[in-house]
Amino acid sequence: MSENNQEKTLNLPLLPLRDMIIFPHMVVPLFVGREKSIAALEESVGKNNELFLVTQKDASILNPERTDVYDIGTVVSIIQMLRLPDNTVKVLIEGKYRAKISTFKSSNDGYWAEVVELKDGEVDGVALEAVTRSVKTTFEQYVKLNKRIPPELLMSISSINDPSRLADIIVAHMSMKIPEKQEVLEADNVEKRLHLLLEKMQGEIEIINVERKIRNRVKTQMEKSQKEYYLNEQINAIQRELGQKDDGKGELEEFEEKLKTKAMPEEAADKVRKEIRKLKNMSPMSAESAVVRNYIDWMLSLPWQDYTKDDNSLESAKKVLEEQHYGLKDVKDRIIEYLAVRTLVKDKSKGTILCLAGPPGVGKTSIGTSLAEALGRSFVRISLGGVRDEAEIRGHRRTYVGAMPGKIIQALKKAKTGNPLILLDEIDKMSSDMRGDPASAMLEVLDPEQNKNFADHYIEVEYDLSKVMFVMTANDVSKIPGPLKDRMEIITIPGYTPDEKLQIGKQYLLSKAIRNNGLDDYIFKISDSTIAAIIDQYTREAGVRELERMMNTIARKTATNVVDKQIAKGKKFNISISQLKHFLGPCKFDRTDLEIEPQLGLVNGLAWTAVGGEVLNIEVVTHEGTGKLSITGKLGEVMQESAKAALSYVRSISDKLGVIADWYNKHDIHIHVPEGATPKDGPSAGITMMTALTSAIAGIKVWQNVAMTGEVTIRGRVLPIGGLKEKLLAAKQYGMKKVIIPKKNEKDLQEIPDHIKDNLEIIPVTDAEEVLRIALEIARPETFMKMVGLKVVNGGEEVSNGKLEVANH
């Protein structure tokens, strides 16, 4: 080799090799049989014994051309050559240095090539020394594991100080494919060759270890089973290690990767690891395999410790609530207070469980949605209406076919976060049967002291629900079991007044109806008076759902008219009261159908229903009979008892009414509450029934502009009732002038808006006689005076100073 920096170019005979590569410093015998190759050898011996060896890319080609050989080979010198009897030649060669083909010539007499000697590029001495040591150490491990390499080789390797010579000698003893060896040969500097060699040796060591592991595993299994089982297991073991067996192992690897990156409690992680190990040893065709896979998938899909950050900004919450809901000042204030407390309290895991109670259509569910938006939390709604099975909450055990987690765990998977806002809708509609009581299962979910260790039967490990915010909705709070109600703070959302409905319709529902019915390109208006008429004549509800339906009906029919007549964009539609019959048909409700003149035995009571307040007429008639009491109108047990208590009170004051004792034995009394198909119950109609009975029995008419509510005892005491706001609202809507309420409900008037109390004379009473003084018409003064404990002087005819003289009885 030349000592200067100029490239050394030689014109040498070329010998193509098949299935082998010669490296510098190698001394190896070759058997040459092709005529062109023998010619190249003879040409070399005739000159300076130098020959260029290069490997064929495809060993099956007999007469290779330029493209059939690699670019880089080795220049060798011939040490000895011997011709054998079968016309083949045995030659002993020694590798000298690397060279690259510049030109390639082929003729009938052989191959020749003009080659350029390749020199090593410059390297970092420290880095070269480091990689040289690593190669020697790794090769020592490789020799110990690979029994095909003689241990004596280690002695000669350890004494080699030339890195290039070291690389060339080691690669000659490696079990490598031809392309891999060629890659090492073509490396342009010694450091790169050593790195490649190090990488290949480490790979070979790993393969040898895996093979040893497979042999040990197969040997152990062979001792326990027959030969056929051993052969099958050996094949499976090899395929498992190579990752080629298509039996769902890719999915197993995916599970293991997920588990490594999944943030979850150690108990849950251990459970998943055990299930993955169980799945590995299970036949993929077994039924239990599908169950285990489904379980692992659920466990890895749950947001065990993935939490979002809360936005406790009060300004943001106020803005969201104001934009999406009209009115409801008390409700909004309570939610803002809740958020303010959360900002100050450090332990946010023990928060209040809110329950939004009120009639349908007042916005309970949408308030929950707005609260989630204000907090920046994921929102999930769970409908509990009709849930009868405890397993719907706690999940099914995995022993059951088709088992799955309960609704709470399902909601968390859907939310993809461990602290969402979960809205438990219609919690008062849950019921129980032979499959358990789901309301009792909800106790653990909602109790802040217990839900950090919530146990779902399916996932079998405890789940922390303490960071979940639960909001419930209910129509009738009385139907929620006591222990469950004790764990929640109830926020009552009352029904809307007509004025509030008007504003909601104008500000929210109208634009929604335009958007939902494709009228954005038209000027569609419904005047305030028209919306008020819809509320008064076509809806009877506490919320605004029916109002929304009516406005959608008008918008829908307008849209039909637009399409049918191909009306151009920009057309103005202004819906007036006179057009309502065309769009909505005749009026559904007429609040002016109340009696004007005083009536006998007919009294207006006030009732609370799930859809708001209602005026409930109670009718009583008497006729000759045998003292029988009939009660009709599909009344509940409590209401029937109220009727009997009212009758007992009326009989106790018979002498004041001027009714003889045996009158009750000769007459039948019939109490009826109209709308007989609708179930009715509760004690608050007590004074209404008492007044109606008194009117019918004593023959005194009742004023029809008076409504009343209150429970009555058999001694005439008036007891408090609930739902006062809804009842006063109903009285106002029906045009009542006076409302009689229990004295103990007087404190509730402070919480009722003034616009509901305006134009209503609200009279608190403590006993039944006060009710009778207000409600009964004084058509027969002497009877009335006697009834209320007064005595008429001179038959009510004597007048002194222009006034009727009376004296206490």
DSSP class per residue in 661-693 = TTHHHHEEEEEE-SSTTS-B--STTHHHHHHHH
The backbone torsions φ and ψ at residue 624, rounded to the nearest 5 degrees and listed phi first, read -60, 140
Tokens at residue 580, please? 């309502």
Convert 732-775 into a string of H (helix), E (strand) and C (coil): HHCCCCEEEEEHHHHHHHHHCCHHHHCCCEEEEECEHHHHHHHH
Is 684 marked active-site?
yes
Helix (H) or strand (E) holding 421: strand 421-425
The phi-psi region of residue 19 (left if phi > 0; otherwise alpha if psi is between -120 and 50; otherwise beta) is left
CB 349 within 8 A of CB 291: no
CA-CA distance, 528 to 240, in Å (whole number)? 76
643-649-650 Cα angle (round to 5):
90
* Residues whose CB falls within 8 Å of the CB of residue 165, separated by 6 or more in sequence, listed in order: 24, 25
CB 110 within 8 A of CB 96: no
Is 431 marked active-site?
no
Tokens at residue 743, please? 């004295």
Give the type of residue at 509: L
* DSSP code for 807: E
- What is the separation of C-alpha 641 from the centre of its chain, rounded to a whole number of angstroms? 48
Residue 527's CB is within 10 A of a number of other CB atoms, namely: 13
Q: Per the residue annotation, which of 262, 364, 501, 727 is the catalytic one?
A: 727
Q: Per the residue annotation, which of 44, 164, 642, 684 is the catalytic one?
A: 684
Residues listed for the chain: 809
Helix (H) or strand (E) holding 95: strand 89-107
* Residues whose CB falls within 8 Å of the CB of residue 10, separated by 6 or more in sequence, listed in order: 50, 52, 75, 99, 114, 115, 117
- CA 97 vs CA 36, 39, 74, 116, 164: distances in Å: 23, 22, 6, 10, 10
Residues acting as catalytic residues: 684, 727
